[in-house]
Amino acid sequence: MSSNAALANENLEADELLALARLDIEKGQLESGLRKLKQILSMPDPIPEAIAMAARLYAQIGLLPRAKELFQRYLQNNPAAINEQFQLGMVHFDSRELKEAQRVWEEILASTPIHPPALYYMGLLNAQQNQLSDARRHLEVLLKSVATDNLYFERSKELLQAIDSSLQGMLASENPMHPAANSPYQVEH
């Protein structure tokens, strides 16, 4: 950024910077958007929306510790913000902090039992941890509570099919009379 552009940004108010940062991010100009957000965050009393937007941007570019810190900061003053709470769970999930992700999503589901993203990712997390009955329960609740055009509907159906396939594979391998149980070409799951 040129020094003239930096000086011009110094004369902008926080809400103006936030609007410009939003436009930059929508255009894919992440560096420019981040600079504006950082300027807002350095102000004595930053706009809460700027904190959440910066957290999402840091998560998007893979700076997960910074994203986590900003989501936590935002949620201290906005504890009912379910989307940011879910996104904090995603940061934990992507950081392989699975117990923390699960804790966050369980909190969401305690207050909003049919939150589609939390249900889906709890199902996915349970499936990864081989807690297949819990995974099925979350996914079935999701499938019963959202429209078929919902993003998580199709994903949930596919995950349920994968769970069912792995269960059938496990049952077949436990049965020595089943042909797949003796196959040297059996695929590991």
Write down all domains in the chain, each with its CATH number in brackets.
13-100 (1.25.40.10), 113-174 (no CATH)
Helices 82-94 and 98-111 meet at what angle, rounded to 10? 160
| CA–CA gap between residue 161 and residue 12 (Å, rounded) | 53
pLDDT digits (tens, 9 = 90+) for 25-44: 999 999 999 999 999 999 99
Residue 4 confidence (pLDDT) above 50: no
Residue 58 confidence (pLDDT) above 80: yes
| CA–CA gap between residue 104 and residue 110 (Å, rounded) | 10
Per-residue tokens: 12: 């902008």
Q: Which of 105, 131, 133, 98 is nearest to 120 (CA)?
A: 105
The pLDDT, as a whole number, for residue 171 is 54
User: Residue 3 — pLDDT band, cuts 50, 70, 90?
Assistant: very low
User: End-to-end alpha-carbon separation of the chain, Å?
Assistant: 50
User: Residue 9 — pLDDT band, cuts 50, 70, 90?
Assistant: low
- The CA-based dihedral angle spanning residues 46, 51, 53, 58, taken in that order and rounded to the nearest 10 degrees: 130
How much is the average pLDDT of 55-81? 96
Residue 172 confidence (pLDDT) above 80: no
Query: Does residue 46 sit in helix, strand or coil?
Result: coil
Note the pTM of the prediction, 2 decimals: 0.81
Q: What one-letter code names the amino acid at 48?
A: P
How much is the average pLDDT of 62-89? 97
Residue 2 confidence (pLDDT) above 60: no
Q: Which of 73, 31, 38 is nearest to 52 (CA)?
A: 73
CA angle 101, 105, 107 (to 5 degrees): 120
Poorest-confidence range of 8-12, 29-33, 122-126?
Answer: 8-12
Outline where 42-150 has alpha helix (H).
48-60, 64-77, 82-94, 98-111, 116-128, 132-145
